[in-house]
Amino acid sequence: DKLGYSVAGNINGYANLMALNNGIRLNAEAWIDSVKVNEYEVAPLKFESQWNTRQQRVVFTLKNEQNKKNLVRSFHRFDDKAFLTDVTLDNLPVNILAPIFKGELQDIDGSANVNLELRKNGPQSRLRINGDVSVDSLQTRLAYTGVEYKADRIDIGFDRSVATMESVLLTDNENNNARLNAHLDLRDFSDIKYDMKLVPENLTVLNMGATGERSFYGKVSVSGAVDVRGSNAGTSVTGAVSTGPNSLLNVSVGGAQDFYIADYVTFESPQDTVVVDTLESAFSRQREYKERVENEGRRGGLDVNMNLTVTPDLTFKLLIDPEYNKWGGVLAGIGLPFL
């Protein structure tokens, strides 16, 4: 339950132990039924294992008792810690991953077919993953932006631990789309590398109403191209996008704790001009935040280089919260800037 999963079921089985002159053999079988993982019922399963201590070998098999198909079959050698595991899963509900992405993804739906081979040839060798994973009718909502995306089909190929997705079509609720290409390098789990390119065409990237917990809300769509590259050491985001028609973005710079991450808002005034009262509090808090970030070095893991062209029909509102300024106020603008 701590991981977000509740598993229940029944297990019955037996084991045979044979002591021979040249070693010990252990065979075991177990039947697992009435299994539920969260709200999902699992087909009856059979687990088999054969141990041979003389040859330092063991074989594990997990199969579906209804159709007699192997789900997992794994061969292990004790002496050099080598193994070969085949995994075959059909119609796996993608929502089973919901606890892992809690707080990031909502309303996850779809099904996946998994056909993978995992191999490790010895203690010094790296894990190799080959095979493919296909996802049908994927649907999910990004919790922080409120946007729902769909993909009719996603094919992920694994070749020597490098996963590849090519030309995946993502759509939003208004049937605007984006193309996604991605590579994920799992050859070294201590330094996982990734490379993604997203090409949106008027794709909705924000669709949130006003709440007291958020520093920005509204409805915004974009077109252009974005590249995301990185590893365990950090992430680099580059690209050029433009806002779509009738976009509306509201940014609050006071009241919520999220103000402290709104360092993309900078207040400036001519040196010969007195700072307007309605901006004084926000300006001061903004400066204090930037000084703290620079001292603590919080930005080392992310490098963003993004060109944003704002089209004339974008409405932008900067909300100065009365909680921090007795005057309160809204700065609104419509224009054609380039950031």
- CB under 8 Å to 277, separation ≥6 — which residues? 325, 327
Which is more confident, 280 or 132?
132
**Dihedral over alpha carbons 318, 322, 326, 332 (to 10 degrees):** 20
Does pLDDT of 255 surpass 70?
no
Does pLDDT of 311 surpass 70?
yes
What does the alpha-carbon distance between residue 11 and residue 83 come to, in Å, rounded to a whole number? 26
Pairing of strands 148-159, 128-142: antiparallel
Q: What is the pLDDT of residue 134?
A: 97
Q: Is the CB of residue 56 less than 8 Å from the CB of residue 49?
A: no
124, amino acid identity: Q
Does pLDDT of 277 surpass 70?
no
Query: What are 175-191's pLDDT values in tens digits?
Result: 999 999 999 999 988 88
Query: What are 46-99's pLDDT values in tens digits?
Result: 999 998 887 888 999 999 999 999 999 999 988 888 999 999 999 999 998 888
What does the alpha-carbon distance between residue 36 and residue 101 come to, in Å, rounded to a whole number? 20
What does the alpha-carbon distance between residue 153 and residue 132 come to, in Å, rounded to a whole number? 13
Model confidence at 212, in pLDDT bands (50, 70, 90)?
low
Instruction: Find which of 57-61, 99-103, 244-248, 285-289 is predicted with most confidence, using mean pLDDT.
Output: 57-61
What does the alpha-carbon distance between residue 192 and residue 198 come to, in Å, rounded to a whole number? 20
* Token pair for 139: 């649907």
Q: What is the pLDDT of residue 297?
A: 46
Does pLDDT of 204 surpass 50?
yes
> Mean pLDDT over all residues of the chain?
81
* Token pair for 19: 């002591």
What does the alpha-carbon distance between residue 214 and residue 206 come to, in Å, rounded to a whole number? 12
Q: What is the pLDDT of residue 196?
A: 92
Quick one: which of 196, 198, 194, 197 has its CA closest to 230? Answer: 194
Please return the burial class of 311, using the count of CB atoms within 10 Å of its CB with bins 0-12, 13-18 and 19+: middle
Percent of the chain clearing pLDDT 70 (strictly above): 76
Q: What is the pLDDT of residue 253?
A: 63
Task: Please state the length of the chain.
Answer: 339
Which is more confident, 118 or 263?
118
pTM greater than 0.85: no
Instruction: Give the three-class secondary structure for 7.
Output: strand
Query: What are 23-55's pLDDT values in tens digits?
Result: 788 899 999 999 898 888 999 999 999 988 878
